[in-house]
Chain A
Amino acid sequence: MTVRAVADSSVGRVDGMKTLAKSEFETLIDGLIDDDPRSVVGPQRRSGQYVFEELDSAADLALEYDLTALSPKKYLLPQYEQLLTYERTDGEYEMHAGTDTEGVIIVGVHPYDLAAIEHLDKVHIDTMGDEPYRKRREDSLLIGLTMQSVAPESFAASMGAATTDSGYDLLVTDIGDRFVVDIGSFEGNELLADLDTHSASHSEVQEVRRIEDDLRGRFERELQFPPEELPTLLAEHYDDMEFWESYAEQCLSCGSCNMVCPTCYCFQVETVRDLGGDSGYQQRSWDGCLLEEFASVAQGENFREEVAQRHRHRFMRKGLYVYERYGDVSCVGCGRCTRHCVADVADPTDVYNDLWEATNA
């Protein structure tokens, strides 16, 4: 869990920023790979796409990436996670909560994914008290990365998540021949202790600002209105079934939009039995509200039987329900759902802008 070492408001980011050679950064990462018991993961190029994977060497980092297939959420809320193991001995069952909750060092996390993790923290740690998530998260380090490339599907700038000043232990910006690093936590500060760094100069900090400002103008997709308007807009269009059906017509209910979303956290719980039958475990695994059976109950009733109802629920949840409960619009504009939707009906900018136009035409 990130503990802010430098109070941004009083000290200011100038004092919190360090400059280091790119080779020094590689030294840091290679040192962590060699010496830290935790896995060190980062963006890499695999089979024609970018993915977060375990690093063998800092040289494998693909820091130029635009968007990874899955977000680093997969390390904090794994797709499959044991909640409980059970075993029968002498006719009696023993049950034990627990799982492998060792943290991870995640290198190269873009600001929109940092924003998504901050939201997951708010839900799982600050509010609902999910112990497996908390343990893993508090034992993890996040080394953020200012975006160098922008995916054509992304609209993170519209969601205020193209840049960030929170949610990381370190945030790295490439300013050409060297990196400027913002320190976000005590742990982040400690990482730099043995490296050759110097305080970032005024012009280096200005360069970071320039890169960030420039970045916000590089997105091809955007919301035509401020995201704060989303909750009201969605509430107004809840009953507009013609609208939701127009998108749902093509939807295959595959759930890909849910699976790749960095803020989706719904899950199902299932029992996995060992072959002998006397032992096994309960696991939770990612589930999605677009999948047909998601809202069904015993004896056959399904409370979101129609594709359009499920489609609507996804957008309502992102922009209205979660906002009402937690104060966040739970879309960070990464664009993964757009990229992975087989039927091309998942793009939030299409849906939200169409709603906006319907209201403001």
Chain B
Amino acid sequence: MPSEPTDAEPNWVHYEPEEATLVAKTTFNEIDTVFEFELEDRDELGHVPGQFVQVFVPGVGEAPFSVSSSPTKDGPFELCIRKVGSVTTAIHEMEVGDTLGIRGPFGETCDIETFKGNDMLFVAGGIGLAPLRSMINFILYHRDWFRDVTVVYGCKDPTEILFPEEIERWQERDDIRFDITVDEVPEGVEWDDHVGVITTLLPGLKIDAPNTYTIVCGPPVMFQYVQEELDAKEIPHDHIYLSLERRMHCGVGLCGHCQINDLYVCQDGPVFNYEVIKDRPEALS
């Protein structure tokens, strides 16, 4: 929410990245890879699930990415990056041992600890699993804080599935329900699970609406249809959180690129309570 100017000294923003070294990369498909980075000068990134960092590739540029790993994971942090532009392509071309610059972590997110004692429902569309994975693994680390944990994940087709091995492990656990669907199956690709858009997975879920917290992340077009299903389940709007994407240039509430009406995604989000953004027309379309 908008911050009041205070008498406290602000943290001065220097726009200077910290050096980070690529220590591992795991490729899922032609465009999606998860990268593990180690900071030069400190052990931990110190983020909370849902926050993002600005990644600076010298000579190419800077772009924001949500952190994919949970803070409960020791050591290097992970960014799952889809190759779509110059910065992401440059990161994809990096080899283990190469370095780049990191600023952050930035942003407000939801305080997962306040959801203790409730059911958790995650809805991820496509690359939207990347930021949600941070929260999912945080919750699995503190599994006994929560009641039922459900993840529904939809991709365009089976080749776009992120973290397939981890998903298999999640599916093997009996303390988490993980449902997956693909919009379509290209010829020659094997797939024996659900086919259909992500909203087809939601009606079948048994949901204790007043005691469920939901976190949604996916392409803008997905939110509206998912929300219709969540409304059908009567999940209270203040129990729903959305992780939104914008093209932050600064990360510190100044450059204006991420503004949704009066809100800055980099400062007031990127994870927003639906109650806060549902009446802001620039949020979802």
Contacts and interface: CB of A to CB of B under 8 A. Distances in A.
Interface of A: 83-84, 86, 88, 92-93, 95-98, 122-132, 134, 238, 265-271, 273, 277-278, 280, 282, 284, 287, 289, 294-299, 301, 303-304, 309, 313, 316-317, 320-321, 324-327
B2 interface: yes
Contacts of A124: 254
Contacts of A327: 5
Given A129-B9, A129-B252, 9 more contacts: A97-B14, A130-B13, A131-B12, A271-B62, A282-B62, A284-B249, A294-B256, A298-B84, A303-B282
26 contacts: A83-B15, A86-B101, A88-B58, A93-B100, A93-B101, A95-B101, A97-B15, A97-B16, A123-B254, A125-B10, A128-B254, A130-B13, A238-B281, A265-B256, A268-B257, A269-B250, A271-B59, A271-B62, A277-B59, A280-B58, A284-B250, A287-B257, A294-B257, A303-B285, A321-B261, A326-B5
B179 interface: no
Interface in B63-118: 84-85, 99-101
B56 interface: yes
B220 A95 contact: no
A128 B10 contact: yes
Contact of B17 (A84, A268, A270): A84
Given A84-B16, A132-B15, A134-B12, A270 B257 contact: no
A266 B17 contact: no
Nearest to A82: B15
A320 B84 CA distance: 35
A284 B99 CA distance: 23
Contacts of B58: 86, 88, 93, 95, 271, 280
Given A83-B15, A267-B249, A130 B254 contact: yes
Contacts of B13: 128-131
Interface of B: 2-3, 5, 9-17, 19, 56, 58-62, 84-85, 99-101, 219-220, 245-247, 249-250, 252-257, 259-262, 281-282, 285
B247 A296 contact: yes
A326 B4 CA distance: 7
Contact of A282 (B5, B10, B56, B256): B56
Given A86-B58, A95-B58, A128-B254, A299 B84 contact: yes
B280 to A, nearest CB: 10
A298 B282 contact: no
Nearest to B220: A301
Contacts of A289: 256, 259
A12 to B, nearest CB: 26
A32 B256 CA distance: 37
A232 B262 CA distance: 14
B257 A271 contact: no
A92 to B, nearest CB: 7
Contacts of A269: 61-62, 249-250, 255
Contacts of B282: 295, 303-304, 309, 313
Contact of A325 (B2, B84, B255, B256): B2
B256 to A, nearest CB: 3
B247 A267 contact: no
Given A271-B61, A280-B59, A325-B3, A298 B245 contact: yes
B79 to A, nearest CB: 14
A93 B16 contact: no
A269 to B, nearest CB: 4
Contacts of A271: 58-62
Contacts of A284: 249-250, 255
Contacts of B249: 267-269, 284
Given A124-B254, A265-B254, A282-B62, A324 B2 contact: yes
B61 A266 contact: no
A266 B257 CA distance: 8
A294 B285 CA distance: 15
